[in-house]
Amino acid sequence: MLFFSLGLHRAVIRAFAVSLQAHPAGTWTIGPGMVEPVLQLFQLMLATGVRLALPVMAAMVLIDIALALLSRVNSQLQLVFLAFPAKILASLLLIAWILRIIPSIFGDLAQKVLDVVQQAVIG
């Protein structure tokens, strides 16, 4: 739904039409100019995935460190029963927060991907 609400379907159809004009059917081959756009797309996808996953991973590490420090202060506590609910609650809150910012991140990512696709089709 996000794909269609951002109007990306029109951009994909437009890119397909431009590719048919620039490279008629049966004439286009993969050349050395395609390596750079594909590497740019890989770098972009990897960076976006890390940007989305890093807050959750950092929160899990911070919860583990806090529980380790708490267990050093009071060794009588059974923190195994506290660790899983704390991690689940933190990850659910962070996922809810990430879901609020995903449309803007997805819009920026889609625009960059379409720019690279256009560069690959025309160039």
Q: Mind listing the pLDDT tens digit of every residue in the chain (123 residues)?
A: 878 887 888 888 888 888 777 777 777 666 677 778 888 888 988 998 898 888 889 988 998 898 888 888 887 777 778 888 888 898 899 888 888 888 888 888 888 888 887 777 776
Angle (nearest 5°) at CA 7 between 45 and 115: 45
Q: What is the pLDDT of residue 62?
A: 92
CA separation for the pair 9, 2 (Å, rounded): 10
CA separation for the pair 63, 94 (Å, rounded): 13
E strands present in the chain? none
User: What pTM, to 2 d.p., does this model score?
Assistant: 0.65
